[in-house]
Amino acid sequence: MGARRPAAGIAALGLAGALAFAAASQARAEQTYGVKIDNDMSQCAPGKGPAVRLRITGLKSGAGNLFVRTYFAKGSDWLRSKRYIHRIDMKPRKGVTYACVPLPRAGSYAIAVQHDANGNREKDFSTDGAAMSGDPEIRTFLGLPLPPSLDDTTFRAKDGVTLMTVRMRYMD
Protein backbone atom coordinates (compact mmCIF):
# COMPACT_ATOMS: atom_id res chain seq x y z
CA MET A 1 0.00 0.00 0.00
CA GLY A 2 2.88 2.37 0.81
CA ALA A 3 4.26 2.00 -2.76
CA ARG A 4 1.03 3.36 -4.24
CA ARG A 5 1.22 6.69 -2.38
CA PRO A 6 4.42 7.90 -4.13
CA ALA A 7 2.95 6.89 -7.49
CA ALA A 8 -0.24 8.80 -6.67
CA GLY A 9 1.85 11.81 -5.64
CA ILE A 10 3.81 11.69 -8.89
CA ALA A 11 0.58 11.41 -10.88
CA ALA A 12 -0.88 14.40 -8.99
CA LEU A 13 2.25 16.45 -9.74
CA GLY A 14 1.99 15.49 -13.41
CA LEU A 15 -1.66 16.51 -13.50
CA ALA A 16 -0.91 19.82 -11.75
CA GLY A 17 1.87 20.55 -14.26
CA ALA A 18 -0.38 19.72 -17.19
CA LEU A 19 -3.13 21.98 -15.81
CA ALA A 20 -0.66 24.86 -15.31
CA PHE A 21 0.63 24.43 -18.88
CA ALA A 22 -2.92 24.37 -20.24
CA ALA A 23 -3.85 27.50 -18.28
CA ALA A 24 -0.77 29.36 -19.58
CA SER A 25 -1.52 28.26 -23.15
CA GLN A 26 -5.13 29.39 -22.81
CA ALA A 27 -4.04 32.78 -21.40
CA ARG A 28 -1.78 33.28 -24.44
CA ALA A 29 -4.59 32.25 -26.79
CA GLU A 30 -7.02 34.67 -25.08
CA GLN A 31 -4.71 37.70 -25.39
CA THR A 32 -6.82 40.83 -25.26
CA TYR A 33 -6.37 43.36 -28.02
CA GLY A 34 -7.13 47.06 -28.31
CA VAL A 35 -6.62 47.97 -24.64
CA LYS A 36 -5.95 51.63 -23.75
CA ILE A 37 -3.35 52.11 -21.01
CA ASP A 38 -1.68 55.09 -19.33
CA ASN A 39 1.92 56.16 -19.88
CA ASP A 40 3.35 54.87 -16.59
CA MET A 41 7.09 55.61 -16.65
CA SER A 42 7.54 53.68 -13.37
CA GLN A 43 7.11 50.48 -15.43
CA CYS A 44 10.47 51.31 -17.07
CA ALA A 45 12.39 51.71 -13.79
CA PRO A 46 15.48 49.56 -13.15
CA GLY A 47 14.48 46.00 -12.32
CA LYS A 48 11.12 46.29 -14.12
CA GLY A 49 10.01 44.81 -17.41
CA PRO A 50 9.54 43.48 -19.85
CA ALA A 51 8.98 46.98 -21.24
CA VAL A 52 10.33 49.48 -23.77
CA ARG A 53 11.50 52.93 -22.70
CA LEU A 54 10.65 54.74 -25.91
CA ARG A 55 12.33 58.06 -26.76
CA ILE A 56 10.34 59.85 -29.48
CA THR A 57 12.25 62.64 -31.26
CA GLY A 58 11.35 65.14 -33.96
CA LEU A 59 7.91 66.15 -32.69
CA LYS A 60 6.94 69.37 -34.49
CA SER A 61 4.65 70.60 -31.74
CA GLY A 62 3.04 69.86 -28.41
CA ALA A 63 -0.45 70.17 -29.92
CA GLY A 64 -2.90 67.34 -30.48
CA ASN A 65 -2.51 63.73 -29.35
CA LEU A 66 0.23 61.13 -29.41
CA PHE A 67 -0.77 57.47 -29.81
CA VAL A 68 1.71 54.64 -29.16
CA ARG A 69 0.46 51.23 -30.31
CA THR A 70 2.23 47.94 -29.55
CA TYR A 71 1.76 44.87 -31.76
CA PHE A 72 2.86 41.25 -31.61
CA ALA A 73 5.27 40.74 -34.52
CA LYS A 74 2.68 38.88 -36.57
CA GLY A 75 1.55 39.80 -40.08
CA SER A 76 -2.06 39.19 -39.07
CA ASP A 77 -1.78 41.94 -36.42
CA TRP A 78 0.65 44.55 -37.77
CA LEU A 79 -1.16 47.90 -38.26
CA ARG A 80 -4.56 46.20 -38.36
CA SER A 81 -7.46 47.99 -36.70
CA LYS A 82 -7.87 46.96 -33.05
CA ARG A 83 -5.16 44.26 -33.40
CA TYR A 84 -2.68 46.15 -31.25
CA ILE A 85 -1.94 44.77 -27.78
CA HIS A 86 -2.42 48.16 -26.19
CA ARG A 87 -2.46 51.86 -27.00
CA ILE A 88 -1.01 54.66 -24.93
CA ASP A 89 -2.75 58.01 -25.47
CA MET A 90 -0.67 60.93 -24.28
CA LYS A 91 0.04 64.61 -24.87
CA PRO A 92 3.07 65.21 -27.10
CA ARG A 93 5.90 67.59 -26.23
CA LYS A 94 7.62 69.53 -28.98
CA GLY A 95 11.03 68.03 -29.72
CA VAL A 96 11.43 64.93 -27.53
CA THR A 97 9.02 62.98 -25.37
CA TYR A 98 9.17 59.60 -23.62
CA ALA A 99 6.76 56.70 -23.25
CA CYS A 100 7.01 53.48 -21.27
CA VAL A 101 5.56 50.59 -23.22
CA PRO A 102 4.94 47.54 -21.00
CA LEU A 103 4.99 44.17 -22.75
CA PRO A 104 3.15 40.97 -21.82
CA ARG A 105 6.36 38.90 -21.95
CA ALA A 106 9.77 38.77 -23.60
CA GLY A 107 9.41 38.24 -27.34
CA SER A 108 9.11 39.87 -30.75
CA TYR A 109 7.06 43.05 -31.16
CA ALA A 110 6.56 46.15 -33.33
CA ILE A 111 5.56 49.65 -32.23
CA ALA A 112 3.78 52.39 -34.22
CA VAL A 113 3.57 56.01 -33.01
CA GLN A 114 1.12 58.55 -34.45
CA HIS A 115 1.15 62.29 -33.78
CA ASP A 116 -2.43 63.44 -34.35
CA ALA A 117 -1.21 67.04 -34.69
CA ASN A 118 -4.61 68.74 -34.86
CA GLY A 119 -6.24 66.51 -32.23
CA ASN A 120 -9.17 65.34 -34.36
CA ARG A 121 -8.43 61.61 -33.81
CA GLU A 122 -8.33 60.99 -37.57
CA LYS A 123 -5.47 60.22 -39.94
CA ASP A 124 -4.59 63.46 -41.69
CA PHE A 125 -1.63 62.43 -43.81
CA SER A 126 -0.74 66.03 -44.69
CA THR A 127 -0.28 67.14 -41.05
CA ASP A 128 0.10 64.07 -38.82
CA GLY A 129 3.43 62.46 -38.06
CA ALA A 130 4.43 58.82 -37.70
CA ALA A 131 7.31 56.82 -36.24
CA MET A 132 7.90 53.09 -35.83
CA SER A 133 10.21 50.70 -34.08
CA GLY A 134 13.31 50.05 -36.15
CA ASP A 135 13.00 53.70 -37.21
CA PRO A 136 12.36 52.88 -40.89
CA GLU A 137 11.86 55.54 -43.52
CA ILE A 138 8.19 55.99 -44.41
CA ARG A 139 7.86 56.04 -48.18
CA THR A 140 4.97 57.46 -50.19
CA PHE A 141 3.11 56.53 -53.34
CA LEU A 142 1.05 59.24 -55.06
CA GLY A 143 1.33 61.33 -51.92
CA LEU A 144 0.02 58.62 -49.59
CA PRO A 145 2.28 57.03 -46.95
CA LEU A 146 3.16 53.37 -47.37
CA PRO A 147 3.53 51.47 -44.11
CA PRO A 148 6.93 49.89 -43.50
CA SER A 149 7.04 46.11 -43.54
CA LEU A 150 6.79 44.12 -40.35
CA ASP A 151 10.35 42.90 -40.95
CA ASP A 152 11.59 46.52 -40.88
CA THR A 153 9.87 47.26 -37.57
CA THR A 154 10.21 44.03 -35.55
CA PHE A 155 12.42 44.04 -32.47
CA ARG A 156 13.15 41.49 -29.76
CA ALA A 157 12.46 42.47 -26.14
CA LYS A 158 14.05 40.67 -23.23
CA ASP A 159 12.75 40.39 -19.67
CA GLY A 160 14.09 43.79 -18.57
CA VAL A 161 13.67 47.26 -20.05
CA THR A 162 14.62 47.76 -23.70
CA LEU A 163 15.77 51.27 -24.69
CA MET A 164 14.59 52.51 -28.08
CA THR A 165 14.62 55.80 -29.99
CA VAL A 166 12.31 56.57 -32.92
CA ARG A 167 12.12 59.72 -35.03
CA MET A 168 8.76 61.28 -35.91
CA ARG A 169 8.35 61.88 -39.64
CA TYR A 170 5.85 64.23 -41.28
CA MET A 171 4.68 64.39 -44.90
CA ASP A 172 5.29 68.13 -45.39
CB–CB of 152/134 below 8 Å?
A: yes
**Contact (CB, 8 A) for 137 and 149:** no
Radius of gyration (C-alpha) of the chain in whole angstroms? 21
Per-residue confidence in pLDDT tens, the chain, 172 aa: 555 555 555 544 454 444 444 444 444 445 789 999 999 999 999 999 999 999 999 999 999 999 999 999 999 999 999 999 999 999 999 999 999 999 999 999 999 999 999 998 887 777 899 999 999 987 877 777 788 999 999 999 999 999 999 999 998 7
- Three-state SS for 63? coil
